[in-house]
Structure 1
Amino acid sequence: MDIEMVYDKGLLREIGGVAISYGQREWMDTTPRALGSWPLEYQRFSETLRAAGDVKITYRRWSSLPRTVGRWDCEHRKSRLERVGPYQLRHDRAGRVCTVGPVQIFYDRGDWNPVGAQLQSTDESLSDELLLVLFLVLFWQKQAWDAYYQSHR
């Protein structure tokens, strides 16, 4: 199953037909505010995502590395996210996430924004939980890259 990712004005607007919405002043605030019907809640005065709908997210103390997503634990190796609950992540040589469980992510050559994804099994569909994990992984990856490039200006 192909999973289309739609961008507009440099912002990821849709994953597999599920809209990602932003604030009214998106030219100033590029932080996603909702994934489909799930409101995204952030820590006060921060871009740290605390919840997606009813799913709470916790982080390691003094870190941006997630510790739990809902009932699932997250695993890290050094500062790289390796697993969210049952979904193992794989990275390419450039450090980009290239698989999230059964989902393979595709990038344009030399680009950091994913252009699409594909479920490796044609029998499966993109479940709500897999959609959420895919969104979170891409969100955290973009945050990490943005922070890196801001610090190296």
Structure 2
Amino acid sequence: MDIELTYDMLGNRLRKIGDATIAYDQLGNRPCTLGTWALEYDRLGTRLRRVGDVQITYSRWAGLPLTVGRWSCEHSKLASRLLRIGPYELGYDHLGSRVRAIGALEIFYDRLGSRPHRVRLSGEVVSLSDDLLLALFLVLHWQEQASSAASRRE
């Protein structure tokens, strides 16, 4: 099953994951809803703290996600790269910079390789479960944040 990732007219903000619409705040800087789930941020508005009823915790110093609801997150020791979110193992491209898989989800990027545009769910599954939608959104969100932070440093 293929799931389309839809962007706004300028192509810089993810607007839909399959049937789940993503709405942005008034400034258009950060997502405020994913489907029916409200997204809440910390006081500074920098880190996503909650998706619907699911709370997200981060490490104190490195700011790496530790838990997503009942799921724990696993990171590599040296690169501080996310390896697992709950039951879903993450796979990266050969450079290790882009997530190519989340469990049974395979992520395809545009021709320039900068933006995911389609996700394939392997097997006989006919719809994206809420758990996989949450994992996919978080991974794409954190990947975008890391990319934006890297470009600001340059």
Give the structure-2-normalised TM-score.
0.93
User: Which residue of 118, 132, 135 maps to 2:134?
Assistant: 132
Instruction: Answer yes or no: is the 8 Å Cα contact 1:31–1:47 preserved in 2.
Output: no
> Which blocks of at least 5 consecutive residues in structure 2 are unaligned?
none
The residue type equivalent to 1:80 in the other structure is R
Offset from partner CA, 1:59-118 (integer Å, 9 cap, x none) = 111222100000010000031000001000000023100000100000013332101101
CA distance in 1, matches of 2:63, 2:31: 17
Identity of aligned residues (%): 52
Distance 1:36 1:62 in 2: 31
Of 132, 137, 147, the residue aligned with 2:149 is 147
What SS class does the counterpart of residue 138 from structure 2 fall into? helix
2:46 aligns with: 47
Q: Which amino acid aligns with 1:89?
A: L
RMSD across aligned positions (CA): 1.1
Moved >3 Å (runs of 4+): none
| 1:91 matches 2:92 | yes
Give the 5 Å matches for 1:24-103.
Answer: 24-26=26-28, 30-77=29-76, 78=78, 79-94=80-95, 95-103=97-105
TM-score by length of 1: 0.93
SS for the counterpart of 1:129 is helix
- State how many pairs are aligned: 149
Other structure's SS at 2:111 match: coil
SS of the aligned residue for 2:149 comes to helix
- Give the corresponding residue for 2:25: 23
Helix, strand or coil: the match of 1:41? strand
State the secondary structure of the residue aligned to 1:121.
Answer: coil
Q: CA deviation at 1:25?
A: 2.8
Matched, 1:7 2:2: no
